[in-house]
Structure 1
């Protein structure tokens, strides 16, 4: 019994998705994009794709719930979540929260999608001091809920979100509805976070990227951040470039005094 319990505790069904995973590269996506284009020939621009089903051969070998869990705990051995509470100064904690939020943005490959979870499906994973539980709580629309804790640093994270994809002719515009809340219980601080949009382009070259504005706010420290994820231009996509850039600022909410600039790329 003890040996069986130990095996269950260390069981890994599918390894976390890697940014350098060549199996699901943009090259792979270009090979399956023809299948997607054939599937959407009958879809009109502006149509809601919430119930649009991909064939099984275009699914990643993981559930959407597992993908959500990986966003919280999988950081190449770094405990970015714990860093949010370990810093002594409020501004340093806020910078760590912004860093963690950006790190949850993972590349999405056009034409490869996780399996849709069924109502009541759950996924649980523990990694170090981090415990993550995800559950599919609504079927129509497909709403997923997440609760994560960091036992050592007393951090509590809750999400509740769902996607509303719409077909725009040459791309799909996916709005992510819902909220993310992080609580640093030892610091008595709460951080509210918005979520960006996801744009999946088919022409002139297949690709997917996060876009739009993200706000992060902590009422207790009077600190706020605005992040802008830059959408690639038509010319850049035609050239095959994907810069995945991000820019923004950290400022005081009450005075609007800017404290830091944010710039770079969200995937590196």
Structure 2
């Protein structure tokens, strides 16, 4: 039996999803809308799409693990350093709000990344920031992230558990799980969630991030509520991709200190209610424009055979070449190998154990993913400045 460990390390690296790629047709198959509607024709409203397998025609040439990782290491500005080096707790909190906004990226209608296979990893470095992701569960799909920066004394852990459902006129994905950003030298931990991903089919096509994101720091008593909004039926530029929210003190009757407003794909502003002054805390064009495609900097270091860009390399290359039959064949081979691995473990009475994370689940708290190692090592794949 051929497993993911037996596959040769042939990474296929693709450009990150950034603002200017919103209207890019590079990855789009012909007659995409017609194909999407045909694909969903037999899906009942309210259905859980977690196990739904997309043909390569509807895939981006990258894994969901890569998309999660890109939101951390693909930025033009050094937003994380600002979080760590702010002089006051409020300055640091405002920088964390800006960084949280930066992790939201535009997605193209009709295409989606691959569902990661069990044990798949994605390991990339950018400067002193090292990022590692692992798919720690397949059914249900759970992705874990660990990132460390020894220079800025930063540690980050994510546990993502998406649940997509079809509602007839739209697909709504609840992104469950917890995000933590730790500023170790300040002894501050910021905990936050993710907005929902909504794909609209009627009355107008579109992909939006919607819902409420909360950010809390227990050590300082500062919190934020960010409401992500979008168009419902008719285009309204003032609402499209907008953010409305506030920063407040949890220990002072939730008194609002700053009002947050703007658009996550343009600029976001914080208004100090004590002074009446406003300042731009996030500029999407500055943060996300001109970010380069990751490269293999040290091939001698060794790329893991579980690396996303290796596991899906043949599929991605076929999609980039628009060779849909080859893409389908390569993707089917990966899925068949996974089915064989599941059967083999079941026949031997073995349970799969993640390599880089300790995973637990409870009805009260959901999934939790704790990194086994204290820090993430540098990666042979590097995101250039």
CA drift at 1:194: 1.4
Deviation digits for residues 172-208 of structure 1, max 9, x if unmatched?
1110110000110000000010111111001222211
Deviation digits for residues 89-143 of structure 1, max 9, x if unmatched?
1000000000000000011212111111100000100011211000000010010
* Corresponding residue for residue 244 of structure 2: 247
* Corresponding residue for residue 264 of structure 1: 262
| Secondary structure in structure 1 of the residue aligned to 2:67 | helix
Deviation digits for residues 20-58 of structure 1, max 9, x if unmatched?
026635995994121110011111111111111111121
What do you get for the CA RMSD once the two structures are aligned?
2.1
> Matches of 2:67 and 2:166 in 1, distance apart?
23
> Matches of 2:243 and 2:184 in 1, distance apart?
29
| Secondary structure in structure 2 of the residue aligned to 1:102 | helix
* Corresponding residue for residue 190 of structure 1: 189
Map 1:90-101 → 2, pairs under 5 A: 90-101=89-100
| Secondary structure in structure 1 of the residue aligned to 2:178 | strand
Larger Rg computed on CA atoms: 2
Which gives a bigger RCO, structure 1 or 2 (Cα 8 Å, sep 6+)? Answer: 2
The answer (yes or no) to whether the contact 1:81–1:150 under 8 Å persists in 2 is: no
| Secondary structure in structure 1 of the residue aligned to 2:20 | coil
> Matches of 2:197 and 2:22 in 1, distance apart?
22
- Scaled by the length of structure 2, the TM-score of the pair is 0.63
CA drift at 1:168: 0.6
> Matches of 2:120 and 2:178 in 1, distance apart?
21
The answer (yes or no) to whether the contact 1:162–1:176 under 8 Å persists in 2 is: yes
Number of residue pairs the alignment of both structures matches: 255
Gap runs ≥5 in structure 1:
1-10
* Corresponding residue for residue 317 of structure 2: none
The answer (yes or no) to whether the contact 2:60–2:113 under 8 Å persists in 1 is: yes
Map 1:133-152 → 2, pairs under 5 A: 133-152=132-151
Range moving further from structure 2, 202-211 or 29-38: 29-38
Gap runs ≥5 in structure 2:
1-10, 267-385
* Corresponding residue for residue 50 of structure 1: 50
CA drift at 1:235: 1.8
- Scaled by the length of structure 1, the TM-score of the pair is 0.90
